[in-house]
Amino acid sequence: MEKIIIIDFGGQYCHLISRRIRELGVFTEIIPFDADLNKLIELKPKAIILSGGPNSIYDDGSPKLKNTVLKYMLENNIPMLGICYGHHLIIHQLGGIIEPHDYKEYGKTYLEVIENRTLLSSLNREEIVWMSHGDQVRELPEGFKTLAKTKNCPIAAYGNENRKLYGVQFHPEVGHTPKGKIILENFINIAGCSRDWKLENWIEKALEKIKKQVGSENKVILGLSGGVDSSVTAMLIHKAIGNRLHSIFVNNGLLRKNEEIEVQETFRDQLGFANFHYADAEELFLERLKNVENPEEKRKIIGHTFIKVFENKTVELEREYPNIKYLAQGTIYPDRVETATTSKSAAKIKSHHNLTLPEDMKLEIIEPLKDLYKDEVRRIGIKLGLPKDLIYRHPFPGPGLAVRIVGVIDKERLDILREADTILIEEIKKAGIYESLWQAFCVFLPLKTVGIMGDFRTYEYICSIRIVESLDAMTANFAKLDWDLLEKIGTRIVNEVKGINRVVYDISNKPPSTIEYE
Ligand code: XMP
């Protein structure tokens, strides 16, 4: 399969470039700017994209392409497209001039297309593009031509047709550049990539690979949470090796209402997973979380307890079913390939709890989804026959409702939150907006305020409603819902949920707030 390699210079849109190219049918991989030449050669790139980045070429220690890498690409005539910082870098490293600028040009800009052929083929004379830059190209090296300009940027796109080197100052990968997809498609055509990245082919190959790896006797174990990634992993492996897949579902007592019943029904009853094992650990989790207030401590306790429960269940199953040799995990591409931006920020704010297990379990790992993006995983899930409701369910954090109850957790608070959350989701679905939202959920605030119901004074807790729109959870905006809908949800929660007498709507964006409360 032919690949386009994206070299990451720290731009926030690296994964977005990669997803766009895959949507166009070409497989991609992201590598860091300082990757070795050997790594690049091993990947056999059909073309290269140099991403944007926050630096100026003139910053001390700003990332550059290794000379060996650049030389290899030029000698082998590998087509290259530079975006934003990448656009400067090609010119800078080939002897042109970049002009530093104190001010930044940011946002919607009109592009004047000078040559609507090659990279800019099929574009009109004027197009809208999304700009975000300080520096700009002032002088092109020999062999390069200006393809487009803007009011403030005389070389907004360039090309060297002989060597197939191109650059754009703006971001073709973002939705704000309406013709961006055409530009990327033009580049794919210039590079002569065959567009053979198809999910149908992927499924067939993945099944073969799993069968071959596991063999005809061995068994695979998997932590199945009912989330998209673990569910699709389970379906795929089940399809490959049938009931030699043993899935373990852990009820940590922090799940949404009826979730433990629904997941069992889906997999055991509807999809015929004969070896679906249910580990009820509600009591253990709640006991260990008793009186714990600190968010990080909660997360750690939940992570450790999960591993313990999973390990115990595995040992129990190993006794009953010999030859459990593999542990499957639902790791997906963005979990594995941190771009320079993601590695700097998010991870340290909250210690994420996912289904990672200690190495001393001596099981070999299978990660069939490790090269895929979430939207690809979802499409595969649908093709494999998973229910649409499960595939398009909003993300739910590993530590579950524990991070949606501020402070101490107990069964009573969990039950209150479950009831409120069920009403919220019911109304959001009824209004037909569930799928357009990234997440919608209730949060329990351990604060009591005074209210009145009938002729009686009440003194009860507050429920906060958190509804956000987002593309990838890195940033998020609160959803500007219709007042009538919010009123209906608030009224139902106060009337129907014992323990809540006040509902507030969270109007914070991320950043500076996070999506979850803890
Ligand atoms: P924050 O709260 O950091 O959340 O803005 C970003 C996204 O991640 C989800 N989230 C988690 N997912 N394990 C997960 O698998 C976790 O520990 C975890 N904590 C937060 C959150 O729901 C949101 O979509």
397 lines ligand 1 (CB under 6 A): yes
> Residue 508: how many CA atoms within 13 Å on its side-chain side?
13
Measured CA to CA, the distance from residue 516 to residue 500 in angstroms comes to 20
Measured CA to CA, the distance from residue 130 to residue 45 in angstroms comes to 27
In the reported structure, the alpha carbon of residue 501 is separated from the centroid of ligand 1 by a whole-number distance in angstroms of 28
354 lines ligand 1 (CB under 6 A): yes
DSSP state of 510: B
> Which pLDDT score, from 0 to 100, does residue 337 have?
86
393 lines ligand 1 (CB under 6 A): no
Mutate which of 300, 349, 396, 516 for ligand 1 pocket (most atoms within 8 A of beta carbon): 516
Burial classification of residue 474, based on how many CB atoms lie within 10 Å of its CB (0-12 exposed, 13-18 middle, 19 or more buried): middle
Q: Residue 22 in contact with residue 197, Cβ under 8 Å?
A: yes
In the reported structure, the alpha carbon of residue 260 is separated from the centroid of ligand 1 by a whole-number distance in angstroms of 20
Q: Which structural domains are found in the chain, ordered by start?
A: 3-191 (3.40.50.880), 199-391 (3.40.50.620), 410-505 (3.30.300.10)
> Which pLDDT score, from 0 to 100, does residue 359 have?
65
352 lines ligand 1 (CB under 6 A): yes
> Which pLDDT score, from 0 to 100, does residue 352 have?
63
Question: Ligand 1 atom 17: the closest Cα is on which residue?
Answer: 352
473 lines ligand 1 (CB under 6 A): yes
Nearest alpha-carbon partner for 187 in 220, 219, 161: 161
**Residue found by looking up tokens 């704000």 in the block:** 176
> Residue 139: how many CA atoms within 13 Å on its side-chain side?
5
Report field, pTM of the whole predicted structure over 0.95: no
> Which pLDDT score, from 0 to 100, does residue 11 have?
83
10-residue stretch averages of pLDDT, the chain, 518 residues long = 95 92 97 95 97 91 94 96 97 95 84 97 97 92 97 96 97 95 98 94 96 97 96 98 98 98 97 98 98 97 95 95 95 85 54 62 92 95 97 96 98 98 98 97 98 94 97 90 98 98 97 96
> Which pLDDT score, from 0 to 100, does residue 65 have?
94
92 lines ligand 1 (CB under 6 A): no
Q: How far is CA 453 from CA 45, 486, 493, in A?
A: 68, 20, 13
Q: Does residue 45 sit in helix, strand or coil?
A: strand
Nearest atom in ligand 1 to 476's CA = 5
Q: Residue 112 in contact with residue 157, Cβ under 8 Å?
A: no
> Which pLDDT score, from 0 to 100, does residue 346 have?
36
In the reported structure, the alpha carbon of residue 346 is separated from the centroid of ligand 1 by a whole-number distance in angstroms of 10
Q: Residue 141 in contact with residue 167, Cβ under 8 Å?
A: no
Measured CA to CA, the distance from residue 441 to residue 397 in angstroms comes to 11
**Residue found by looking up tokens 């082998």 in the block:** 76
Measured CA to CA, the distance from residue 267 to residue 276 in angstroms comes to 7
3-state SS, 215-233, equals CCCCEEEEECCCCHHHHHH
> Which pLDDT score, from 0 to 100, does residue 340 have?
72
Residues identified as active-site? 84, 171, 173
Measured CA to CA, the distance from residue 311 to residue 317 in angstroms comes to 10
Q: Residue 401 in contact with residue 442, Cβ under 8 Å?
A: no
Per the DSSP assignment, residues forming a β-bridge with 110 are: 128
Tokens of 293: 């207030």
